[in-house]
Structure 1
Amino acid sequence: MAPYESESAGRRKATRYVVPVAVVGVAAATIGLVPALADSGNPDLPKLSAQQLIEKIAKSDVQQMSGTVKISTDLGLPSLGGMAGGFTPGTGGSSEGGDGKAGSSADPQSKLMELASGTHTLRVAADGPDRHKLSVLDNAAEYSVIHNGDEVWAYDSASNEAYHSKDAAAAGDRAEKHGKGETPKGVPATPKELADEVLKASGKTTSISVEGTSQVAGRDAYKLLVKPKQAGSTVGGITISVDAKTGVPLKFTLTPAGGGKAVVDAGFTKVDFAKPAASTFDFTPPKGTKVTEGDDLKAQDKSHAPKDLPKGMPEELKDAQGGGMNDMKVIGEGWTSIAELKLPGGQGLPTGGSGSGDVPPEAQKFMDALGDHVTGKFGSGTVFSTRLVNALITDDGKVYAGAVTKDALVKAANAAQ
């Protein structure tokens, strides 16, 4: 079937769900999800156009569900070896901050970053905008985040630590966004959240088509294929399996232009659209659990924040002081968009030479494994590559990043001169 591109105003409600993956969105999306059980046949379903399937997703009003999700992410990063324990929360590294004060291994902000690589199994449940539960199963341990009204609990059974926060205003904001059909900020936890990151608007840079049917978690589904029309993107295509009855995305697969296994592959192995039991969202810390209050961590962070800068200080100095990215601009459009920004201080990457000691040897080894020295009209720099997102850091402190090829980054840097 030919790709569909919407141009009429009457279709805006549906087409706001279809868009090429933005540079930052791609990086954030790699925290998300993976292969469900293998498709078991191609069910005979009524034919739908891409427009009709997009509208079906847009109209889906499912708010109650539970199930099991398989998550696998492969960016092609080299192994960190012994560095992993020191830099990845929850893997045996220290949970103390730079001042020696302990944080919490159950803090969702850091703990869920572990989903950025490898394969994981999740249990998810939802009952409207104010009740959600996500559990990450890891051998004999389990990590859970429970949102119930204005209460948020996170519990790490491996360390017997819990994180708690209470913010009625934030809960209300989440409920409002859910009611409007907006994706909550944070780590995508289901195929639908990942699909929503991709399906927001269509345009001349994107090809959209319905490519047959499949079965996911025992349910009949349509397969929506979203592909870039532009050359130079590292994204080969995105396939979203959409439940034929409810319009809920059940599986999400992002394949790279270079071929090979999926970078992100996500899907339900079991799914149930019945109302979860109210007790699913109840939580009381087990006896002896170390509980960290979110407000305490926020206060600790503020105590280490820079003091107010003097009035009248130039904006450039304020940005340098705070490491801001106000100078960031976007080159190009759609799938080949490239973000350009300046590193604080206007310098390139420090090196780990024997005399400088700017970078620990382990970190330098990791950077060298990713880096590829390049030159051009812009001067020289290093391209750091994954299977999806690449970044060029020039020796004079500029950064060009996007889901594009190395050649595209060099071309953008040359054109910016």
Structure 2
Amino acid sequence: MARNEPTHGTDGAAGAGESAGRAPGRRKAVRYAVPVAVAGIAAASIGIGTALASSGDPDLPGISAQDLIAKMAKSDTQQLSGTVKVTTDLGLPSMPEGLSLGDGPGGKAGHGPAGKGEGEDAASPQAKLTELASGTHTLRVAADGPDKQRLSIVERAAEYSLIRNGDQVWAYDSKSNTVHRSTAPKDAKGGKEAPEELRGASPQDLAKKTLAAVDDSTSVSVDGTAKVAGRDAYQLVIKPKQAESTVGAVRIAVDAKNGVPLKFTLAPKGGGKAVVEAAFTKVDFAKPAADTFAFTPPKGAKITEDRDGKDGKGGGKAGADDRKKGLDESGLSGMNVIGKSWTSIAEFKTPGGVGPGAGAKGAKGGKDAGPAGALLDGLGSKVSGSFGSGHVFSTRLVNALVTDDGKVYVGAVTKDALVKAASK
């Protein structure tokens, strides 16, 4: 394997921060918004599958980590098309076919076994894309500048597509022959930005989020080269230094020619296969054909429309207000973030409490905790501290502490870190 030595050492967090700060484009790379540790990357929704096309390591000129990050930040590639294989393995049970994480009984989120919702449209992107949170999926992606993007989830005998062409955003579910039309939301400057659902499902988007955590709590190095989708790439390795983080390492394969991330792998500290991996299996940086972004609703399709976000389901201020209202009603508003970078913990309160002693008024229980208490005892491990008692629920990356009085602490951190945060 061709090796590329880092310029600031395996423990050079300060070097990573300081040197990168002097490199052209470095400040641009770290402006990306930080999710709650890497929980936002793994739990929201987007995970990633096995990468193919590995056929020997290319011999490339040496490059430092800071220069490779700068190369990624300065990359202005806006045209591409290709196939991405996505796999997420958080250690959660697989969802039955036809159901998504957003479904309630009977598939009310629009993706029940019959492929039709009760009161919701089956093409709604918010519900459909939660399916990427587990299992392996094949995506077809295409982009031609900031106003034209397409993402398709290829399923057995069906396909779901999300298409943005100028101001118009179309979502089509071929299984139910349902179409959802909306208008692209406006950015801070009044221009149109890509809908949230079109961001975050590619190696590029995941790499941007991870680069936001590169600070003095992080070790950064270049660890050899690789072939991804037939292209030469450098391998950037990012490792948290904090012992409380459950992230082992993030490995990003960066196109040696244009700086585009081609593969993203998130490995847990506990070992085993990757929790999140996203990789192009095919990629072409030529301008996609114009008809790639054209869409006409098929004959007989059921069409729902956002009317420029005024119905509260899509883009625009109305859509944002509706989502906030939904959080308020679910009791998940008022989230507080404890800590920073890789060890960030989200703290919020659920309505009425969810612990074994929480009744209609959140009253303390005990021996008479009932079925809810028995269920929590079976699913999580019981813990206690100055906060009282609660249960810790674990995946291969993300841990969550639910206290008996209804507070929730979640992050890509150890159980002890959650108990410590709740005890403060």
| TM-score interval, normalised by the smaller of the two chains | 0.7 to 0.9
Distance in 1 separating the partners of 2:61 and 2:263: 20
Q: Find out whether 1:113 has 2:130 as its counterpart.
A: yes
Deviation per CA, 1:69-91, whole angstroms, max 9, x where unpaired?
A: 00000110134569957536535
Q: Find out whether 1:22 has 2:17 as its counterpart.
A: no
Matches within 5 A, 1:341-356: 341-345=348-352, 348=355
Distance in 2 separating the partners of 1:380 and 1:188: 36
2:331 to 323, 326, 329: 323
Q: Find out whether 1:138 has 2:155 as its counterpart.
A: yes
Contact kept in structure 1, 2:306 and 2:312, CA below 8 Å = no
Contact kept in structure 2, 1:17 and 1:201, CA below 8 Å = no
Contact kept in structure 2, 1:124 and 1:133, CA below 8 Å = yes
Distance in 2 separating the partners of 1:166 and 1:187: 16
Distance in 2 separating the partners of 1:296 and 1:290: 18
The alpha-carbon deviation at position 13 of structure 1 amounts to: 3.5
Matched AA of 1:323 = G
Deviation per CA, 1:319-373, whole angstroms, max 9, x where unpaired?
A: 97773633x33333321222223333466465899x99997x9xx86x6664221
Inter-CA distance 381–369: structure 2 relative to 1 (3 Å threshold) = same
For these two proteins, the number of residue pairs brought into alignment is 388
- Matched with 1:413 is 422
Distance in 2 separating the partners of 1:412 and 1:300: 36
1:124 to 130, 136, 141: 141
Matches within 5 A, 1:140-155: 140-155=157-172
The alpha-carbon deviation at position 394 of structure 1 amounts to: 0.7
Matches within 5 A, 1:17-416: 17=29, 22-23=36-37, 24-28=39-43, 30-79=45-94, 84=99, 87=104, 89-92=110-113, 95-96=116-117, 102-167=119-184, 169=186, 175=192, 187-200=199-212, 202-295=214-307, 299=311, 323=331, 325-326=333-334, 328-345=335-352, 348=355, 370-414=379-423, 416=424
Q: Tell me, which stretches of 5 or more residues in structure 2 are unaligned?
A: 1-5
SS at structure 2 position matched to 1:72: strand
Distance in 2 separating the partners of 1:146 and 1:224: 31
Distance in 1 separating the partners of 2:397 and 2:90: 7
Matched AA of 2:348 = L
Inter-CA distance 339–187: structure 2 relative to 1 (3 Å threshold) = same
The alpha-carbon deviation at position 54 of structure 1 amounts to: 0.3
The alpha-carbon deviation at position 60 of structure 1 amounts to: 0.3
- Matched with 2:3 is none
Matched AA of 2:231 = R
Contact kept in structure 1, 2:164 and 2:184, CA below 8 Å = no
The alpha-carbon deviation at position 200 of structure 1 amounts to: 2.4
Distance in 2 separating the partners of 1:205 and 1:251: 23
Contact kept in structure 1, 2:233 and 2:253, CA below 8 Å = yes
Give TM-score, length-normalised by structure 2. 0.81
Contact kept in structure 2, 1:147 and 1:281, CA below 8 Å = yes
Matched AA of 1:7 = E
Matched AA of 2:17 = S
Matched AA of 2:46 = I
The alpha-carbon deviation at position 377 of structure 1 amounts to: 2.7
Give TM-score, length-normalised by structure 1. 0.82
Contact kept in structure 2, 1:15 and 1:54, CA below 8 Å = no
Distance in 2 separating the partners of 1:246 and 1:383: 44
The alpha-carbon deviation at position 15 of structure 1 amounts to: 4.7
Distance in 2 separating the partners of 1:81 and 1:285: 28
